[in-house]
Amino acid sequence: MIRQNRKNVKRNTGILIALLIIVLVILGLLFFFEEEEISQREDGFRDADAPIPEEQIGGRIENGIHAETGLIEGEGLKLVIGHCTACHSAKIITQNAADREGWKKMIRWMQETQNLWDLGEHEDIILDYLAENYAPKKRGRKPPLGEIEWYELKN
Ligand code: HEC
C-alpha cells in the first residue's frame, strides 16, 4: 500500500515537472513572438517628435543609392533621411511618386494629421529632392515607329 503510494507520488511529480517544462516553453515562445512584433513595428511606424540628428545619419552609397534606406543620392538626402524616416521607413517614400505640388500636399497632410513638425527652411530643399528624384514616371507609351527596315522573307 505504502509502496503503491510512493510510486504514485513519483509519477505525479514526474507529470508535474513535465507540465512545468511545457508551460515554460510556451511562455518563452510567447515572449519571443511579442519581442518580434515590437521590432517589426519599429521599422514600420513609430512615434517621433524630432528629426534624426545629422550625426546619426551615415551609411554607404552604392550605385547612387543610400544602402540603409534605399533613397537615391542627391542634394538634400541627409535632410530627407533626418526628417522623413523618423516615423516610418523610407520605403513609403521610394514607393511613391509625385510632383513638387503633390509632395507638398503630402507633407501638409502629415503636418495636419500625423504631427509632422514644421520643416522650416529645410522644406524647400526636401521638396526639391523629392520632386527631382521621385517624380511621377512618364507614361509607358511606346515610342513611335522610326525607320522601318523591310526585309524579304525567304523560305
Ligand atoms: C511625425 C511622423 C512623420 C514624419 C516625420 C513623416 N511622416 Fe510621412 N507619414 C506619417 C504617417 C503616420 C503616415 C501614414 C499614415 C497612414 O497612412 O496610416 C505617413 C505617410 C506618408 C506617405 C504615404 C502617403 C500616402 O498617400 O499614402 C508618404 C509618401 C510620406 N509619409 C512621406 C513623408 C516624407 C517625404 C516625410 C518627410 C518630409 C515624412 N513622410 C515624414 C508620419 C510621418
Q: What's the gap in Å between 139 CA and the centre of ligand 1? A: 25
Domain that holds residue 77: 54-133
Per-residue model confidence (pLDDT) at position 104? 98
Which residue in this structure is represented by grid cell 514644421?
118
Those residues whose C-beta lies under 8 Å from the C-beta of residue 77, and which sit 6 or more positions away, are 66, 71, 129
Measured CA to CA, the distance from residue 115 to residue 104 in angstroms comes to 15
User: 32: which 3 cell numbers?
Assistant: 519571443
Per-residue pLDDT tens for 114-150?
999 999 999 999 999 999 999 998 766 666 667 777 7
Pick the residue whose CA is nearest to atom 43 on ligand 1: 87
Looking from the CA of 72 toward its CB, the CA atoms found within 13 Å total 16
128 in the same domain as 59: yes
Pick the residue whose CA is nearest to atom 15 on ligand 1: 114
Helix (H, G, I), strand (E, B) or coil at 121: coil
Would you say residue 142 lies in a domain?
no
74 in the same domain as 113: yes
Domain count within the chain: 2
Q: Which of 73, 136, 67 is nearest to 101 (CA)?
A: 136
Per-residue pLDDT tens for 45-104?
878 889 999 889 998 999 999 999 999 999 999 999 999 999 999 999 999 999 999 999
Q: Which of 130, 124, 82, 74 is nearest to 102 (CA)?
A: 130
Per-residue pLDDT tens for 19-47?
999 999 999 888 877 765 544 455 568 78
66 in the same domain as 22: no
62 in the same domain as 7: no
Q: Tell whether ligand 1 has an atom less than 6 A from the beta carbon of residue 116.
A: yes
Q: What's the gap in Å between 103 CA and the centre of ligand 1? A: 10
Q: What's the gap in Å between 33 CA and the centre of ligand 1? A: 27
58 in the same domain as 129: yes
Q: Tell whether ligand 1 has an atom less than 6 A from the beta carbon of residue 65.
A: no
Would you say residue 49 lies in a domain?
no
Would you say residue 146 lies in a domain?
no
Per-residue model confidence (pLDDT) at position 88? 95
Residue 154's pLDDT band, with cuts at 50, 70 and 90, is: confident
Would you say residue 26 lies in a domain?
yes
Which residue in this structure is represented by grid cell 534624426?
52
Decide: 108 and 115 in contact? Cβ < 8 Å. no
- The whole model's pTM is what? 0.70
Q: Tell whether ligand 1 has an atom less than 6 A from the beta carbon of residue 104.
A: no
